[in-house]
Amino acid sequence: MGFNTWNKFNCNPTESKIRAIADAMVSLGLASAGYTYVNIDDCYSLKDRNSDGYIVEDPAKFPSGMRALADYIHSKQLKFGMYTSEGTQTCAGFPGILNNEKIDSDLFINKWTID
């Protein structure tokens, strides 16, 4: 159980909003009640992958980067979830995982430390 950005922020998640949600989950006692996931659902990246084929977090929305945000969420003893699509694009037109399963898994797990 946890928080999903789409329900509150639709296609406008930002680092500051997500940090505030993580803080609120802890301070309101939701984390100790079992709400342990903070999930970003779409619209967190640029529309194009970089020259190495990786998804790139939107620097305007996530100026510290996704790894720093993951570190912050983990410091609150919460878990960090990330949406992707099994197709070539997400519902909102951002890069999906199809034909990029290995590189995206590496990005999410090893570079961004998504749970």
Of the candidates 63, 60, 55, the one whose C-alpha atom is nearest the C-alpha of residue 82 is 55
| CB distance 61 to 68 below 8 Å | no
* Cα dihedral value 53, 56, 107, 31, nearest 10: -160
pLDDT at position 56 is: 98
Q: What is the DSSP string of 68-93?
A: HHHHHHHHTT-EEEE---SSSB-TTS
Q: What is the pLDDT along the chain (115 residues), one digit of tens a residue?
A: 999 999 999 999 999 999 999 999 999 999 999 999 999 999 999 999 999 999 999 999 999 999 999 999 999 999 999 999 999 999 999 999 999 999 999 999 999 999 9
| CB distance 87 to 96 below 8 Å | yes
Q: Which domains does the chain have, with CATH numbers?
A: 2-111 (3.20.20.70)
Sheet holding 37-40, edge to edge: 2-4, 37-40, 79-82
